[in-house]
């Protein structure tokens, strides 16, 4: 065996908090990276044994198969409401919801806003890929102006469908949330920033500081009709102009 191969050091291992189940995400989708980061965070904080995850209908619907922690599959849009109930019933648990933009910012608008307004001590992972990913690529509340979807084949016309909703900015107007941030995954720096943000959001829950929301700009190569590389470039150069990155609230 060549010396350089024999001396290679393994620098990546599957987080212990993830099972061996294969992800069902499309190739090039950012969901897999986010799922891994959450698993890594549970490991680093040593909280997997008391964590309960909630995933509604959407691309993350099978999350209960991927985490070695208790998990619930809930109705579309209702994860923040169910997370509230779980946390209040089991306050010693660490509770997180994993929600897409169509779920969190459209079907679940009421549940999302009111959980944040109450300052529920939960962690919300909000994946924004500007489209309904699992159900056919329909228009979402975050879809960009002129973006083509299966229900807006000529592009989003704001005179008919309104403008993209910056939902994190909406929630940032509330007094109760402890931490609200928007991050992305299109390069190594952004992946590191997202990792730090997710860890902080879980730490704030452990410390009892209240509601945390981590919005993550994600790719959707399948429904965008782009390659993974094109999708990442699109997020960096186009999506971030509409959804700027950074912390909106940090009351830690």
**Cα–Cα distance for residue pair 180/245, rounded to 1 Å:** 11
Q: How far is CA 79 from CA 20, 44, 74, 76, 212, in A?
A: 25, 25, 6, 7, 14
pLDDT of res. 8: 58
pLDDT confidence of 7, banded at 50, 70, 90? low
Q: Are strands 179-184 and 246-250 parallel, antiparallel or unpaired?
A: antiparallel
pLDDT confidence of 1, banded at 50, 70, 90? very low
Comparing 51-65, 189-203, 237-251, the range with the smallest average pLDDT is 51-65
**Domain chopping of the chain, boundaries:** 20-138+166-250
Q: Which two tokens stand for residue 205?
A: 């829950």
pLDDT of res. 59: 85
Q: Is the pLDDT of residue 2 over 60?
A: no
**Cα–Cα distance for residue pair 110/132, rounded to 1 Å:** 18
Q: What is the mean pLDDT of the chain?
A: 93
- Cβ-in-10-Å burial (0-12, 13-18, 19+) of 116 comes to buried
Superfamily of domain 20-138+166-250: Thiamin diphosphate (ThDP)-binding fold, Pyr/PP domains (3.40.50.970)
pLDDT of res. 57: 85
pLDDT of res. 12: 73
% of the chain at pLDDT higher than 90: 84
b or e along 203-228 (b: 16 or more beta carbons within 10 Å of the residue's beta carbon)? bbbeeebbbbbbbbbbbbbbbbebee
pLDDT confidence of 50, banded at 50, 70, 90? very high
Residues 100 and 61 sit within 8 Å (Cβ to Cβ): no
Q: Is the pLDDT of residue 3 over 60?
A: no
**Cα–Cα distance for residue pair 201/179, rounded to 1 Å:** 7
Q: Which two tokens stand for residue 228?
A: 């993974």
Query: Considering only CA atoms, which of 87, 192, 100 is closest in space to residue 143?
Result: 100
Cα-flanking dihedrals φ and ψ of residue 49, to 5°? -65, -25
Question: Per-residue pLDDT tens for 157-179?
Answer: 999 999 999 999 999 999 999 99
Q: Is the pLDDT of residue 78 over 60?
A: yes
Q: Is the pLDDT of residue 10 over 80?
A: no
Higher pLDDT: 149 or 1? It is: 149
pLDDT of res. 136: 82
Q: How many other C-beta atoms can be found within 10 angstroms of the C-beta atom of residue 68? A: 17
């Amino acid at each position: 065996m060549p010396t350089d191969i024999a001396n290679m050091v393994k620098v990546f291992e599957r987080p212990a908090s993830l099972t061996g189940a294969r992800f069902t995400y499309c190739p090039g989708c950012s969901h897999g990276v986010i799922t891994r980061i959450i698993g890594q965070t549970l490991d680093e904080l040593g909280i997997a044994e008391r964590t309960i995850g909630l995933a509604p209908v959407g691309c993350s619907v099978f999350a209960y198969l991927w985490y070695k922690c208790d998990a619930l599959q809930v109705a579309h849009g209702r994860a923040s409401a169910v997370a509230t109930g779980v946390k209040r019933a089991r306050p010693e648990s660490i509770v997180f919801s994993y929600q897409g933009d169509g779920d969190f910012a459209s079907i679940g608008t009421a549940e999302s806003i009111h959980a944040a307004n109450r300052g529920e001590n939960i962690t919300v992972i909000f994946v924004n890929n500007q489209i309904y990913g699992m159900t056919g690529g329909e228009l979402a509340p975050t879809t960009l102006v002129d973006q083509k979807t299966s229900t807006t084949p000529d592009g989003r016309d704001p005179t008919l469908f309104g403008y993209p909703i910056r939902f994190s900015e909406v929630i940032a107007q509330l007094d109760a949330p402890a931490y609200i941030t928007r991050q992305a995954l299109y390069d190594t720096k952004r992946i590191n920033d997202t990792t730090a943000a997710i860890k902080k959001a879980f730490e704030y829950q452990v410390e009892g500081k209240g509601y945390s929301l981590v919005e993550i700009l994600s790719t959707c190569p399948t429904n965008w009709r782009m390659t993974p590389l094109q999708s990442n470039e699109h997020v960096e150069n186009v999506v971030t102009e509409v959804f700027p990155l950074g912390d909106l609230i940090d009351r830690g």
